Chains A and B, each alone.
Chain A
């Protein structure tokens, strides 16, 4: 993956989480691969340059996956309307692709002020004057695209299928599934919202909105970023995938028309925040298997120290409880399985019981959805955390490879 290039500043804004040191011409996220994790804790690189524009066309992989997670996200899924033709889908993908290219460069997708007096605007306008803000838009194709409707079943990515029912699932129909997904991420929430709004608008006669989650804060780290915290107050994603070699091994599909793409799984995970807050922090730490403050594994060391799942305390039990979240999810205990986590904290306000309605929009990428299924089957059955969370939404999508200039996302389907 190539780095986002900085378009020389009209307005340049650096925000360091700890009053960060400005790094001159080096754009945010400009850390070289490989220096992580040794310098990460000492050098906080969580800085934002709103002028950053990530590449879209001709990239090795689709944007918004290996891209260092931006601060905000909107995730939305769509259903193609009854009676849509394969040409409608083709036109939708081609038009979305061109529009995404405009948006990621911080440009409008049409006239905000139309030339003709009787015209509606081509772009809704609320991103005027705003920088690209590292916007990425990632398009996913759901299993429904490959059913009988469009005659595309022979192009179906071999591992794309609806997820099986998993332990502890409490999925609601209204937050599950979809024929298409958009993962829109940006360092400016208005830039992200403008993008998803206009992309939804331009296909209203072809695709209906199905469900959406607004992520207000990133809950996963990419290369060069300090590990952020989820709404349980814990660092999330300490052992996330970071190097190109790890992505090649675990994330990118290698063969067929999907080569260079990946599989996206989204889960809307509601957190019982009031109940969590009433739990002792020592118990919370046992649930995660990490210390709350610095994120170090309970087996000792610092955040980045490899957990020792066999180390025992004086009581003869493992220091990291066997049913803790990290013990169940660790690749050491799952035949080496790893997935890229790219989640965001979300809130839907207050629920009907007067409780905070919030949680984690968990988005993960892997070259085999079965890897997620294996991990979640185990977590759903045994995770100590299950007392405090419910998986209420779910979706699975194939993410095609990045488009080449002059082409569009998913064009291989129609060849």
Chain B
């Protein structure tokens, strides 16, 4: 998601508010059919009090997803999935009104069978096998079961987004304080101190920039960059709108590093930045998020890493790109951490993989830490980029790809 494109998480959520999370209990079905699927067993089998449902994937001219029983009594149910020879079906989900309650991905012929277990109460669910000739099949649960302990995926996700909202407001307040120190140093005409404070202030913005990206101040048209808070705070020289001119962090960066001195214009820029960050503090308090906003925001932060930081275009003059890089990753990691309890109920495999990929990125970034340099990372110079950008970028890509799948998993229907 690049700057100035239509998809803007924060804007959308200002009006939409937080979606009400549905508990993982049964609901009526408006889709799916049981026609034309494999013969069902009269009743499901049980192992240690857990109902067993076997799903078999087959291929050939058309791929099929056969379920051995279409009904089960409420309670814990294990779905055992075997991919016999289907190349088109790579995942199986249990849904309730398009909401994913549980799933298995990366199914391929020849691999050992996999399973997931859910506690389901009475109602009609759907077994979803994308790529099958018949993708949706109804699955009926009779009776009722108590909600599983530890909360449902939806309630956990609902809890997570509230936690994330607090994280954003706290972070923006810390940014206000850090920007205050930067402005003070500039007002004092202290170049060395200003450079240091610049490096210390940047991460706060970079951790949450995907939530601010495209944020429009009240009373401005969405097309008017004069009302676009992200533009006013973080625009790079390469993407300027001539009507609005250059403001914010990077205009200050150029003065401090390339100009090498603090001018009256630098002081004007600093004062503006302070004002705009103040507005940001007020506005973030009004934001509400949906789980998919956190997922898309995290993916957006990694996209920032890949399109700007890795190429050294974000901090063109100061070469502090790795400071921003690390902050983008930390911001994404925070968003993921708040989704994790709910996501791990829906897709534990994906959750584990993303956690592992975050560790891989962290380990790579740790190689560049240098406590002596303000911001804590070595300078991302052209020479260093030429040597290391490819590995670093591919490691981030390894995280970005699984992370890009989280949005659909956590998106709640109504």
Interface residues, chain A, CB within 8 Å of chain B? 81-83, 90-91, 94-95, 97-99, 101-102, 107, 109-111, 114-120, 122, 201, 204-206, 208-209, 403, 405-408, 411
Partner of A81, one of B106, B110, B398: B398
B401 touching A201, Cβ below 8 Å: yes
B394 touching A209, Cβ below 8 Å: yes
A97 touching B110, Cβ below 8 Å: yes
> How far, in whole Å, are A209 and B397 apart by their CA atoms in the complex?
11
Instruction: Report A-chain residues with C-beta under 8 Å of the C-beta of B131.
Output: 110-111
> How far, in whole Å, are A111 and B132 apart by their CA atoms in the complex?
11
Chain B min CB distance to A78 (Å) = 10
Segment among B80-88, B206-214, B334-342 that sits at the interface with chain A = B80-88
Name the residue on B nearest A201 (C-beta). B401
B388 within 8 A of A: no
> How far, in whole Å, are A407 and B108 apart by their CA atoms in the complex?
8
Q: A111-B130, A120-B405 are in contact. Are A98 and B108 (CB under 8 A)?
A: yes
Chain A min CB distance to B63 (Å) = 10
Partner of A116, one of B108, B360, B411: B411
Q: A102-B87, A116-B411, A118-B295 are in contact. Are A205 and B405 (CB under 8 A)?
A: no
Chain B min CB distance to A266 (Å) = 20
> How far, in whole Å, are A319 and B353 apart by their CA atoms in the complex?
65
Name the residue on A nearest B354 (C-beta). A205
Instruction: Report A-chain residues with C-beta under 8 Å of the C-beta of B405.
Output: 119-120
Instruction: Report A-chain residues with C-beta under 8 Å of the C-beta of B117.
Output: none
B108 touching A405, Cβ below 8 Å: no
B109 touching A98, Cβ below 8 Å: yes
Instruction: Report A-chain residues with C-beta under 8 Å of the C-beta of B44.
Output: none
Instruction: Report A-chain residues with C-beta under 8 Å of the C-beta of B98.
Output: 116
Chain A min CB distance to B13 (Å) = 13
Q: A91-B108, A94-B109 are in contact. Are A406 and B85 (CB under 8 A)?
A: yes
B408 within 8 A of A: yes
B401 touching A205, Cβ below 8 Å: yes
> How far, in whole Å, are A51 and B91 apart by their CA atoms in the complex?
29
B401 touching A204, Cβ below 8 Å: yes
Chain A min CB distance to B135 (Å) = 8
B90 touching A107, Cβ below 8 Å: no
Chain B min CB distance to A130 (Å) = 17
**Which chain B residues in 364-414 approach chain A with CB under 8 Å?**
391, 394-395, 397-402, 404-405, 407-408, 411
Q: A204-B398, A406-B84, A406-B85 are in contact. Are A94 and B360 (CB under 8 A)?
A: no
B411 touching A83, Cβ below 8 Å: no
Chain B 228-259 interface mask (CB, 8 Å, partner A; 1/0): 00000000000000000000000000000000
B109 touching A118, Cβ below 8 Å: no
Interface residues, chain B, CB within 8 Å of chain A? 59, 84-88, 90, 98, 106, 108-111, 130-131, 135, 292, 295-296, 353, 357, 360, 391, 394-395, 397-402, 404-405, 407-408, 411
Given contact pairs A94-B108, A117-B411, A408-B111, a sample of 15 additional A-B residue pairs in the complex whose CB atoms are under 8 Å apart: A81-B360, A90-B111, A91-B108, A95-B108, A98-B87, A102-B87, A111-B131, A116-B408, A117-B408, A118-B408, A120-B408, A205-B353, A205-B399, A205-B401, A408-B110
Instruction: Report B-chain residues with C-beta under 8 Å of the C-beta of A204.
Output: 394, 397-398, 400-401
B130 touching A115, Cβ below 8 Å: yes
Q: A94-B108, A118-B292, A118-B295 are in contact. Are A102 and B88 (CB under 8 A)?
A: yes
Chain B min CB distance to A86 (Å) = 13
- Provide a sorted-by-A list of 26 A–B residue pairs whose CB atoms are within 8 angstroms: A82-B360, A91-B108, A94-B109, A95-B90, A95-B108, A97-B110, A98-B86, A98-B87, A102-B88, A110-B131, A111-B130, A116-B98, A117-B408, A120-B404, A204-B397, A205-B357, A208-B391, A208-B395, A405-B109, A406-B84, A406-B85, A406-B110, A407-B110, A408-B108, A408-B110, A411-B110
Instruction: Report A-chain residues with C-beta under 8 Å of the C-beta of B88.
Output: 102, 107
Q: A209-B394, A405-B85, A408-B108 are in contact. Are A83 and B360 (CB under 8 A)?
A: yes
Chain B min CB distance to A203 (Å) = 9
> How far, in whole Å, are A204 and B88 apart by their CA atoms in the complex?
20
B109 touching A408, Cβ below 8 Å: yes
A94 touching B398, Cβ below 8 Å: no
Chain A min CB distance to B149 (Å) = 28
A81 touching B395, Cβ below 8 Å: yes
Residue of A99, A107, A111, A208 contacting most chain B CB atoms (<10 Å): A208
Chain A min CB distance to B160 (Å) = 16
Instruction: Report A-chain residues with C-beta under 8 Å of the C-beta of B135.
Output: 115
> How far, in whole Å, are A411 and B87 apart by their CA atoms in the complex?
16
Q: Closest 7 interchain pairs by CB? A: A119-B408, A94-B108, A118-B407, A406-B85, A205-B398, A101-B87, A98-B87
